[in-house]
Amino acid sequence: MTPELTSAQYVGGYTIRVRFADGINAEIDLESEIWGEVFEPLKDPEVFRRFRLDRELNTLTWPSGADLAPEFLYEKAAQRADAADES
């Protein structure tokens, strides 16, 4: 089942705080994920910060047409949440 992304907030740089319906909540740094033709415009932080939560696609999208799979975002957030729990 696809995880339900319920909110996303720009933090700074290439970091976004995401929250999922099951309670997973974390700041994820996406700088290392910005590569390839469709993501090239997002290397500009001003462009990167213009993402929106697309409720129909259940993920983050950018005006350039870039998007990230909700499963990918969930995995990144879950890793960060687990690391925070271990501290």
How do the domains of the chain map onto residue ranges? 5-86
- Residue 56: is its pLDDT beyond 60? yes
Under CATH, what is the fold of the domain 5-86? Answer: NE0471 N-terminal domain-like (3.30.2020)
Is pLDDT above 80 for 83?
Answer: no
- Give 29's strand partners: 15
**Torsions phi, psi of 61, nearest 5?**
-130, 160
- Residue 76 DSSP code: H
What is the Cα–Cα distance from 32 to 45, expressed in whole angstroms? Answer: 13
- As a whole-number percent, the residues of the chain with pLDDT over 90 amount to 86
Residue 21 class from Cβ within 10 Å (0-12 exposed, 13-18 middle, 19+ buried)? exposed
Residues 40, 5: contact at Cβ < 8 Å?
A: no
* Type of residue at 58: N
